[in-house]
Amino acid sequence: MEKFVIHGPKPLYGDVYISGSKNAAVAIIPAAILIDGSCVIENIPNIGDVKNLTDTLAKLGAEVEYLDQNTIRIDSENINSYVATYDMVKNLRASYYLLGSLLGRFKRAKVPFPGGCDFGYRPIDQHIKGFEALGARIKIEHGIITAEADKLVGTSIYLDVVSVGATINLMLAAVLAEGTTVIENAAKEPHVVDVANFLNAMGANIRGAGTDVIRIKGVERLQGGVAHSIIPDQIEAGTFMIAAAAAGGCVTVRNVIPKHMESLTAKLIEMGIGVEEIDDSIRVTSDGKVLKVNIKTLPYPGFPTDLHPQMASLLCLADGTSTITEGIWEGRFKYVDELKRMGAKIKVEGRIAIIEGGHPLTGAPTRATDLRAGVALVIAGLIAKGKTEVHNICYIDRGYENFEAKLKALGADIERCVCK
């Protein structure tokens, strides 16, 4: 087991380059199952979730070749199994995308319930509702979902709640279905658009991705031979923007799409942080002084739930009382007890975190409870006085490429150590 050891406080200066989107990559890799041939995926983040997924595809029969650290070629022609075992996917939240891809290709799929971070119940009722509308029969036994269909036929599907996972999964299942599928109340996140662009490059006919109505005209086959580059990671970019705002200094976050960051940028400006957009970069300048704000997480283009814990660390510096209302995951607040170890004054009432800012943080031993909570503790360590230890950093490695190396290049005093 490994941990991060951080000595703070210390300001951050310099440039940081953002990797490809984790949330796009973990959907696009399963989407390659649908292709009759090979494809090349560029700007893949070198993270644990990607490695787990590529290993899973290889076990299903795909040929996976790393052309370099951030480029892979996947040839799905010889995939010979529609069954993903528990051991393959036990650490993957995004394992449910295998359902849509395998069902689309084989008209059957057998996949365990998702693993990954534990921050609340992961309902897949909207996925199941959509699969059944397309003609699949669903059976759930002993934590394993089995989907079978004689054929998949396009239809109209209205999602009762905005769900990124269900939107992408239904796109995956519908691209090879007969006729036209319409997904209403669809998620609009940037990685939904990226998945659609990938599938369209391979011959799919998807229109409307990025709006709340997506239309998919089924095609007979998807043909490979095309390269696709993953979009920059919106959440990694936001994490470094928040880290710069908290630690103070001046950081230019490069290889980003500024439009994807608008909800965070608006809040940072409201908090008195300097934010400047420059083409595909965003410069964040801070003197460590932070104004109080209220935040509510919402589906895109609202404030991302995946930046909630990081913002909580930043708001510990604010002059006054701030609130974060969690509109997506009811179990997102496990980071709170860990921040309290460092002196944070946070109270949770239902889905609202009430943060009383202005109380100095002090370094302490802490434990990552999930991916985003882990990086929130690192940010807290950057602003705390003394030594902070963040244990259980396997969560962070799942979603951030070279995280501590990027922070060290900005001047952070952070080391990866083996736990004794």
Quick: pLDDT tens for 243-299: 999 999 999 999 999 999 999 999 999 999 999 999 999 999 999 899 999 999 999
Rounded Cα–Cα distance for residues 314 and 322 (Å): 11
Rounded Cα–Cα distance for residues 298 and 300 (Å): 6
Rounded Cα–Cα distance for residues 101 and 34 (Å): 6
Q: What are the E-state strand segments in 201-261?
A: 205-207, 213-217, 222-223, 227-229, 249-254
CB 266 within 8 A of CB 277: no
Instruction: Give the chain's domain count.
Output: 2
Give me the phi and psi of 368, to 5 degrees please.
Answer: -70, 130
| Entry pTM | 0.95
Instruction: Give residue 276's pLDDT.
Output: 98
Domain containing residue 46 = 22-229
Is 194 in the same domain as 47? yes
Quick: pLDDT tens for 111-150: 987 654 443 445 789 999 999 999 999 998 888 899 999 9
CB 167 within 8 A of CB 187: yes
Instruction: Give residue 351's pLDDT.
Output: 95
Of 128, 86, 125, 120, nearest to 103 by C-alpha is 128
Is 142 in the same domain as 260? no
Is 256 in the same domain as 174? no
Q: What integer best gives the mean pLDDT of the chain?
A: 94
Per-residue pLDDT, averaged over 307-327, amounts to 97
Is 13 in the same domain as 38? no
Is 161 in the same domain as 218? yes
Quick: pLDDT tens for 329-346: 888 899 999 999 999 999
Rounded Cα–Cα distance for residues 277 and 284 (Å): 9
Among residues 117, 250, 316, 394, the one annotated as catalytic is 117
How far apart, in Å, are the Cα atoms of 384 and each of 292, 316, 367?
19, 10, 16
- Our answer to whether residue 117 is catalytic in this structure is yes
Is 121 in the same domain as 27? yes
Q: From 211, 229, 247, give the residue that closes a domain.
A: 229
Angle formed by the axes of helices 22-31 and 48-60, nearest 10° = 0
Is 134 in the same domain as 63? yes
Rounded Cα–Cα distance for residues 218 and 64 (Å): 27
Q: From 212, 229, 246, give the residue that closes a domain.
A: 229
Is 221 in the same domain as 293? no
Quick: pLDDT tens for 351-381: 999 999 999 999 999 999 999 999 999 999 9
Is 223 in the same domain as 139? yes
Quick: pLDDT tens for 5-28: 999 999 999 999 999 999 999 999
- Sequence length of the chain is 420
Is 166 in the same domain as 206? yes
CATH of the domain at 271: 3.65.10.10
Quick: pLDDT tens for 167-205: 999 999 999 999 999 999 999 999 999 999 999 999 999
How far apart, in Å, are the Cα atoms of 173 and each of 41, 71, 127, 226?
20, 25, 10, 21
Is 212 in the same domain as 90? yes
Residue type, position 61, single letter: G
Q: From 196, 229, 262, give the residue that closes a domain.
A: 229
Is 243 in the same domain as 118? no
